[in-house]
Chain A
Amino acid sequence: GAVVSQHPSWVICKSGTSVKIECRSLDFQATTMFWYRQFPKQSLMLMATSNEGSKATYEQGVEKDKFLINHASLTLSTLTVTSAHPEDSSFYICSAERDGSYEQYFGPGTRLTVT
């Protein structure tokens, strides 16, 4: 149990377009999900905390208008990179916290390349 999926696993898009990444908890409910970003050979940096039914909480320095987060249900959070630029190319990883616990389960990640 405790599986988190991400879709797509990789995506290539042109500069100026928007890309949506989905994060789903497949067999548990997650009121809270997290979005991380990882550059090559670097650590994971938390971008935002996604809460079902309320606005996401963004970390300092993360543009909320550029990285739109929607937590539509207890099993789905989406991250939309708007007007993507090459510098947005990165590995995006989501995690879902099982309700009532501090157990956080990670998705397999989405590799975004903006050309």
Chain B
Amino acid sequence: AQKVTQAQTEISVVEKEDVTLDCVYETRDTTYYLFWYKQPPSGELVFLIRRNSFDEQNEISGRYSWNFQKSTSSFNFTITASQVVDSAVYFCALSEVHGSSNTGKLIFGQGTTLQVKP
């Protein structure tokens, strides 16, 4: 069965601190996608990144970076020099690829609430 675990329920940091959000996943498939989404208080999900299972390169986008390690089934997300606007709930998600069905059903982790204090 597929499963995504975000062990950190809530994290509180002070502005300008770096923070890492952990994500561990389980799947029996060799082909899959991993995602991170941000959900601010407004509720709308904001797409941050998609990574396929064959691409283990780490990625950096501004203050955001992602570390994908298949050996440990982890896809961690780091925010550098956090800002108050980063306060939100962050979800890690897994999507499996089923042959030609092309359905990107997402399995979400429990979410991590990040609070960045000024």
Contacts and interface: CB of A to CB of B under 8 A. Distances in A.
A108 B105 contact: no
B43 A34 contact: no
Interface of B: 33, 37, 42-45, 47, 50, 91, 95, 97, 102-111, 113
Contacts, number: 54
Given A32-B102, A49-B105, A43 B44 contact: no
A91 B45 CA distance: 12
Contacts of B97: 102
Given A43-B91, A43-B111, A97 B43 contact: no
Contacts of B95: 102, 104
A97 B108 contact: no
Interface string A23-53: 0000000001010000001111110010000
Interface string A78-115: 00000000000001010101001011111111010000
A106 B105 CA distance: 12
B91 A104 contact: no
12 contacts: A34-B105, A34-B106, A43-B109, A43-B111, A46-B106, A97-B104, A102-B95, A102-B102, A102-B104, A104-B95, A104-B104, A106-B47
